[in-house]
Amino acid sequence: MELIVDTGRVFTWINKDTLASIGIKPRRIRQFRTIDGRMVMRSVGLITIKYEDYEGDIEVVFGESGDAEVLGVTALETLGLEVDQVSGKLKYVGRLAL
């Protein structure tokens, strides 16, 4: 699937129906603050993501209708990727032990 890469978002958000269709189950509910300051409750679960030769397990938010589907910075760091500011493409930089 294709996702918008959003380095301003911590979590990866994918529509709940898409996640259910590939067998991802919610594990708990978390509260999130939206950009306009509202608090929303969303289910979260674990998913294995792969981009080219890089693979990792991340927590994913079960998006509702109207929520943007994005690949967040936690997923990028798990995969050892960052956005190349010149090309706009993802590049491997390794995993940071911070």
pLDDT in tens, 3-28: 999 999 999 999 999 999 999 999 99
Phi, psi of 84 (to 5 degrees): -70, 120
- For residue 18, is it within any domain? yes
In a domain, 97, yes or no: no
Residues 26-78 have pLDDT tens digits of 999 999 998 899 999 999 999 999 999 999 999 999 999 999 999 999 999 99
- From 39, 49, 52, 38, select the one nearest 13 (Cα to Cα): 49
Cα angle: 93, vertex 96, 98; to 5 degrees: 155
Q: Which residue has the tokens 């509202």?
A: 38
Look at residue 74 and give its three-state secondary structure.
Answer: helix
Question: How many separate domains does the chain show?
Answer: 1
Report whether 5 contacts 71 (CB < 8 A). Answer: yes
The CATH number covering residue 67 comes to: 2.40.70.10
Domain span holding position 31: 4-92
In a domain, residue 98? The reply is no
